[in-house]
Amino acid sequence: MASDFEATRRLFHLPDGVIYLDGNSLGPMPVAARARVDSCVADEWGEMLITGWNKAGWMEMPARLGDRIGRLIGAAPGSVVLGDTLSIKVYQALASALELRPDRKVILSDTGNFPSDLYIADGLVRSLGGGRELRTVAPEAVEAAIGPDLAVLMLTEVDYRTGRKHDMARLIAKAHAAGALVVWDLAHSAGAVEVDLAGADTDFAVGCSYKYLNSGPGGPAFIYVAPRLQSQVRPALSGWLGHEAPFAFDLDYRPGQGIERMRVGTPPVIQMAALDASLDIWDMVTMADVRARSIELTEAFIRGVEAACPALTLASPRDPAQRGSQVSFRHKEGYAIMQALIAKGVIGDFRAPDILRFGFTPLYTTMADVTGAVRVLKEIMDGALWDREEYRRRARVT
């Protein structure tokens, strides 16, 4: 099929006068999500009450929606399940991977990883003790640091600040050759770039649904476990919905079949209803088309900003093949500049210490958004509008 991005844009609610370039932080509302959520609340919860778990299919949603996301990341049906938050899923994946490599002690990650992943890993190795260690190197030093002592390589594919993109397939092959397992965080990959989890022989992956996948604030995370590993994994957070027979209420834990064992507690049904509506839009496109369009948009933005705003320094890789679906620029007054942009209806975000971050999401970002954002950014930079008291004040209080 040919993806029709004019059609998909009409399926999102975007407030008047706003150019939204922060869908890599929180995606906008699919128009249909509103009615879908309302129906989940009123028709399902309201009318079916407890019977909704069966009648409305709530119990199967984590696996059903997992498969829908699976299509976007190269995962076979039955290898992705929803639940919890990304941090919890990182913990599960990492703890499960460590247990599959009991004789090795080292988790390797990089300083470009999202800090929460590092916090979770650090907490895990401290709890487990036994000489386990989280080793963190610069992103460009990861490949050389893969050695025979490595238990798990844990990386985020796309750097949340700069958009720098790791070569997943290459690093997975290197890690596997060293006898290690891999855990990939796809927070800025799922729905943003082409991911081929099965093709790259990935062991574990995790991601969130509220960024490019547009599930709304606090939508659940997902976890992928390679089919070849599923039966070997003993889930670290062994909750009742990951049990082989949750409603037998046995006193002993027996892991469920396949990916189901990575479930923990009661899933967030109302949040999942919003995601379900969003995934209907994703069904209209291919990731190859999304990626191609994303590159057109980011290339145009970089060209535009570099021509119009020489005071801003590109923080993202110039080669689109090494970049995710965002573009970042540095400026020492980045926070105040972003406040001024937001005040003029161009919403990106700021990441300390000096990064202005802009996400490009082909489902609803147009070339007109790109040129509009460049024009407003030029106005602000030319007039040093960010230096006005109102933005400096905002910058101080945050």
* Positions marked active-site: 114, 185, 210-211, 357
Residue closer to its own copies, measured from CB, 2 or 247: 247
CA 224 distance to own-chain centroid: 13
**Residue 365 binds to its own copies (criterion: CB under 8 A):** no
User: Could you tell me which of 281, 159, 286 has the C-alpha nearest to residue 214?
Assistant: 281
Residue closer to its own copies, measured from CB, 114 or 224: 114
CB 35 → its own copies: shortest distance, Å?
A: 9
**Residue 199 binds to its own copies (criterion: CB under 8 A):** no
Subset of residues 71 to 110 that bind its own copies, contact rule: CB under 8 A = 84-88, 91, 95, 99
x/- letters, 315..334, toward its own copies (CB under 8 A): --------------------
Residue closer to its own copies, measured from CB, 76 or 128: 128
CB 69 → its own copies: shortest distance, Å?
A: 17
What distance in Å separates the CA atoms of residue 20 and residue 29, rounded to the nearest whole number?
A: 12
Subset of residues 264 to 293 that bind its own copies, contact rule: CB under 8 A = 264-272, 274
Residue closer to its own copies, measured from CB, 18 or 229: 18
Query: For 250, phi and psi rounded to 5 degrees?
Result: -65, 155
Q: Looking at residue 46, what DSSP letter applies?
A: I
x/- letters, 142..161, toward its own copies (CB under 8 A): -------------------x
Strand pairing of 12-13 and 80-83?
unpaired
CB 377 → its own copies: shortest distance, Å?
A: 18
Residue closer to its own copies, measured from CB, 199 or 257: 257
Q: Which of 163, 220, 324, 362: binder of its own copies (CB under 8 A)?
A: 220
**Residue 248 binds to its own copies (criterion: CB under 8 A):** yes
DSSP 220-286: -EEEEE-HHHHTT---SS--GGGBSSGGG--SS--B-SGGGGG--S---HHHHHHHHHHHHHHTTS-
What distance in Å separates the CA atoms of residue 265 and residue 83, rounded to the nearest whole number?
A: 8
Subset of residues 223 to 242 that bind its own copies, contact rule: CB under 8 A = 234-240
What distance in Å separates the CA atoms of residue 27 and residue 216, rounded to the nearest whole number?
A: 7
- Residue 61: HSE in the Cβ half-sphere, 13 Å Cα cutoff: 25
Q: Which of 17, 103, 129, 396: binder of its own copies (CB under 8 A)?
A: 129
Q: Which of 352, 368, 389, 396: binder of its own copies (CB under 8 A)?
A: 352
Q: Are the C-beta atoms of residues 372 and 348 closer than 8 Å to each other?
A: no
CA 87 distance to own-chain centroid: 11
Q: Which of 69, 347, 370, 376: binder of its own copies (CB under 8 A)?
A: 347
What distance in Å separates the CA atoms of residue 218 and residue 87, rounded to the nearest whole number?
A: 12
Number of residues that bind its own copies (CB under 8 A): 88
Q: Looking at residue 78, what DSSP letter applies?
A: T
List of residues 6+ apart from 66 with CB closer than 8 A: 79, 80, 81, 82, 222, 259
Subset of residues 2 to 41 that bind its own copies, contact rule: CB under 8 A = 13, 15, 18, 20, 22, 25-26, 28-29, 33-34, 37-38, 41
Residue closer to its own copies, measured from CB, 66 or 216: 216
